[in-house]
Every structure is written in structure tokens, then in C-alpha cells.
Amino acid sequence: MSVRIRTITVGIGEPHPLSDAALDRAAKLLKTAEPLFREAGYEVQTQRISTRPLFLDRLHAREAEIVNYATALQERCERRGFQYLSLGPVLADDPKFPVERINLLPEMLGPNPALNATVQIASDANGVRLEAAVPAARVIRTLSQQTEGGFGNLRFAAVANCPQRGPFFPAAYQPDSDWGFAIGLQSATLVRDALSEAVHDSKPGPSALGPLGPRLIAALEREGRVIADIAARVAREHGIPYSGLDLSPAPNGTESIAEAIEAVGLGNFGDPGTLIVCAAITKALKSTGLKTCGYNGLFLPVLEDAGIVRRVASGGIGIPALLLYSSVCGSGLDTIPIPGDASIERIAATLLDVATLATRLSKPLSARLFPIPGGSVGEQTRFNSPWITNAPIMAI
């Protein structure tokens, strides 16, 4: 099948500290939903839980209390078989938020592999919080040093205009007291097939951009309606609203969004023409008649896409180009391997560039950067994970 379900994510509306009853309610929905989707022919890769922003509910708790709570949450997740739980964004864009609280995140995330979190350093409402960038960069550096190979940064990002009720991690969170669940897709193959059909309708090159949108919208709606019908059944049975689909076509290894872009016939990913194809795909993702949520845009995660990795290795793509594509895409700078000795100031400046673009264009963007301990530009990463495609370390 050309579509997999990357995640079913239940958003818990209960404030922190979470009760056992809330975790059990989420587990019950996930346990019921997965076989329904599998029976319909959809592989369900992960099941996840998102929560309200922890520091929104526990801002004035003592530091040791917050760290101990994170440790206890990890243990409670393990007992229930949960591998993914988001603590929500640290809303550091708020000028009243004490940015020193950001410094707790490495101690909360590093030893607790189920836990995810983000730091929101900018929003349309508050603009860019300059003083939040360095603490966020310090979290990235610390996680790279305290987790094997720096892999802990898979579970952390700096964000701007973080989207509510989305399914994808680490940014997923529930904004209020209402529960919900959302579904995120792995659909790079569907996008590639739709774009190939658009080329067949015309010919490779700019003329393929005309039929691209209708072809992709039709393909997304065909699969999305089946998924939405099953989700509606789950919502009725559990009394938890369905928040929608995040149609962002998450890639995975050889299931490459870069190869889908190249199918249009304007050249390799990174060549002239890449930006307009990215924009055309994003427009189609946002033009369906489906109920959507989260980023709902184009993801270009380097360490999750073998096609992007090939273009990085050939010198055809770098961080500036990926930032450019973020102006018309979805997620920003995603899973970027950088040298282990990259300075906190350099990382912070990169985060501020992403935040500036997000607020200037009034769109959600994030930055997941992976400093590789001991690694230099051009050296290959050595992660051992089904979610990671190893890549040359990129200059920052």
C-alpha cells in the first residue's frame, strides 16, 4: 500500500500531573484503533500520546519535583507499553516565561527515552524571544553529549508557531482541557505516484505542474476518506473527538519525498525548480476536503530520507537551501546532522533564522538539529535505528 499510518496520537486534555485513569483511557483508544486500521489494510507504525504543555501546568513547581515527575512518567509509560509521550512545548516565546526553566529539559529527556518536548522561541502573538535561543541551543548541545551518538535530539526541537493537536513528534501537544486524537501519515510513495501520473498526463518539466495539484488532491482524498471513516468510528466508541489527519507526507529511508519531487522532471532535488515543486505539493496538501490538523505541509527531514541524503552527499544541498524550501514547506530544518563541536552561538543563530522565517510568513516551523559527538563536516553518521538514514554531517 502506498500509504502507511506513521502515528495514531491521542491528546490528553487533563492537566499535569497526569492521572493513571487518563493514561489508561488513552491506552484503551490506541489498543482499539490499531486493529481497525490494520484490518482495512493500513500498517500502523507507532502509537503516541501528547499532553498539555507541562510547564503551563507546573510552571512554579520545584525543579526537583519536575525532574522526578518526568522520571515517573517514563516508568508509567513503560508499564503500559508506551514508547512515545510528548510533554508539549515550553512556551518560552511568552515574555513572562522564565527562560532558565529550559535548562531542565536535558535532565528530563536524556534518561527517559519515551519523553519528547520542544521549546517555542517565537510566535505570531509574541514575536521572536531572543533570549530563549541560547538556552534552546544549549539543550541541543547537551542532549548530543548525554545520549548515545546524540540520538536524544530526535526527541527535541525548537519551534515557532507550534501547531496545536497535531500527531507528529516532538511537536505534538494538546492546547486545552479537551481530549482528541489525530493521525499522521507516511505517504511519500503516494505523492511520488501522483506526481508520476501528472507527468504522464503531460510531459516531464514545468507543464507537469498543472495536473500535479488535482492528481495529488484526488489521491490524498481517496486514502484520507477511508482513514477518516475509521477514525470517526473510534471517536464514537470512545467519546474522544477526532482532530484530523496531518497529511504531511513523512518519508522513511528509501520511501523518499526527494525522489517524489524529482519525478516531476525539473532536475535533481536541490536544483532550480525544487522550490516551485515544493510549493505545489504543499498547496495540494492544504487544498483537500479532508479534516486536517498539525503541520499539514511538506517535510524534508535529512536523516529520514535516502533521496535527500544522496543530494547532500553529492554537494547539491545544504542548510541554506533547506531553509529556503521551508518558506513554502512545512517543518523547517528537520533532522539535520551537524558537527559535534558546533558552537551554542552558531546553533542559536540558526534557530533564530528559522523563528524569523516562521513569524515573517506566519507559519509553523521547527528545527531539529543533531550535533554528532566527535563528528566533522562530511563524515558519515552511524545511527542504528529504523527511523534514521545515515548521512554526511552538514556545515552549519
Q: What is the pLDDT of residues 76-101, one digit of tens each?
A: 999 999 999 999 999 999 999 999 99
Q: Sorting pLDDT into bands at 50, 70 and 90, what band is 294?
A: very high
**353 CB-near residues (< 8 Å, 6+ apart):** 323
**9 CB-near residues (< 8 Å, 6+ apart):** 47, 48, 49, 50, 166, 167, 168, 169, 172, 181, 182, 183, 184
Q: Sorting pLDDT into bands at 50, 70 and 90, what band is 326?
A: very high
pLDDT of residue 112: 98
- What are the start-end ranges of the H helices in the chain? 20-39, 54-57, 63-80, 105-109, 133-146, 188-201, 209-238, 257-262, 274-285, 306-313, 319-326, 344-361
3-state secondary structure of 115: strand
pTM above 0.75, yes or no: yes
pLDDT of residue 266: 92
Check whether 111 has a pLDDT greater than 70: yes
pLDDT of residue 342: 97
Q: What distance in Å separates the CA atoms of residue 299 and residue 249, rounded to the nearest whole number?
A: 7
Q: Please tell us whether the domain made up of 4-160 is placed in CATH 3.20.70.20.
A: yes
Task: Please indicate whether residue 119 or residue 252 has the higher confidence score (pLDDT).
Answer: 119
- What mean pLDDT comes out for the span 23-30? 97
What is the residue extent of each domain of the chain?
A: 4-160, 183-372
Q: What distance in Å separates the CA atoms of residue 301 and residue 293, rounded to the nearest whole number?
A: 19
pLDDT of residue 1: 62
Q: Sorting pLDDT into bands at 50, 70 and 90, what band is 386?
A: confident
Contact 184, 48 (CB under 8 A): no
For the chain, what is the mean pLDDT?
95
- What mean pLDDT comes out for the span 366-388? 95
- What mean pLDDT comes out for the span 18-22? 98
Q: What distance in Å separates the CA atoms of residue 393 and residue 300, rounded to the nearest whole number?
A: 16
Pairing type for strands 44-50 and 242-246 reads unpaired
Closest to 102 (Cα-Cα) out of 161, 42, 55, 46: 55
